[in-house]
Amino acid sequence: MSEAITVSAISKSFAGKRAIESIFSELSFVCVPGTFTSIVGPSGCGKSTLLNLLAGLEAPDAGTVEISQNPIGYMMQDPLLLSWRTLEENAFLGAEIKRRNSYRDQCSDYFVSFGLAGSESIYPNAASGGMKQRVAIVRTLLTQPQIMLLDEPFSSLDFDTKLRSQQCVLQYQKQHSATVLLVTHDIEDAIALSDRVIVLAAGKPTSLRRDIKVNLDMEGHDPVEARRSERFREYFVQIWDELKLLENVTSKDGSADV
């Protein structure tokens, strides 16, 4: 089986205030089709830059990024809603650009599933941060991506709404055998949703520190049931210890944490 995502020895640098700053150096990993992978790591280690490389918005200085499934859906941290379009019209945008048919009924169903029913005609300036974030998720799903790149998609949601939204994303993944790559600071979300968790190292350039396969001894994924698993705490402590160690390393070497 060919890999959905193959990252081979990529390197990436940007011009900083004083010198060229290396973000990645020969970073490699693969994602199997139909799997859910989460990426965690200290702030500023390059998680969002990695998604930009996978989405083709930026190019690596060296190495290769290969994508074997299309289309790709990319939800950035900022919902990026258009102020002159209603929430429903913003949700339509990606499907309109791709000229998808019959997306309006599907959008209505998603608005119900994500707890947005009744807000279709609201404009972004009258919507909460959580509403905008959910609209951005719906907009991504309506493009029917085979690969989903999600950058902190649940960060503005209260706990109940977050779990409901996560269930919707997992349902889409299962129905479409989609490959999902999630960037998150929330360890619990990473464990509850993922088949594996990649921990990126602190400092520059960033490297892959740990690649942890998640097995909660349960069929499928459910963000509520996952948290009840006896093994959930074991994974949490394992990943937390890694991140605390990275935090100490960052403090000692004086690297900026931005």
**pLDDT tens per residue, range 101-110:** 778 999 999 9
What does the alpha-carbon distance between residue 93 and residue 136 come to, in Å, rounded to a whole number?
A: 10
Nearby residues of 121 by Cβ (< 8 Å), 6 or more positions away: 86, 87, 88
Q: Give pLDDT < 70 ranges for the chain.
A: 1, 16-19, 246-258
pTM for the predicted model, two decimal places: 0.92
Distance of alpha carbon 40 from alpha carbon 186, whole angstroms? 8
pLDDT value of residue 257? 37
Q: Which two tokens stand for residue 176?
A: 């479409």
- Long-range contacts of 226-230, Cβ-Cβ distance < 8 Å, separation of 24 or more: 226/191, 226/192, 226/193, 227/188, 227/192
Task: Note the pLDDT of residue 256.
Answer: 37
What is the per-residue pLDDT for 221? 79
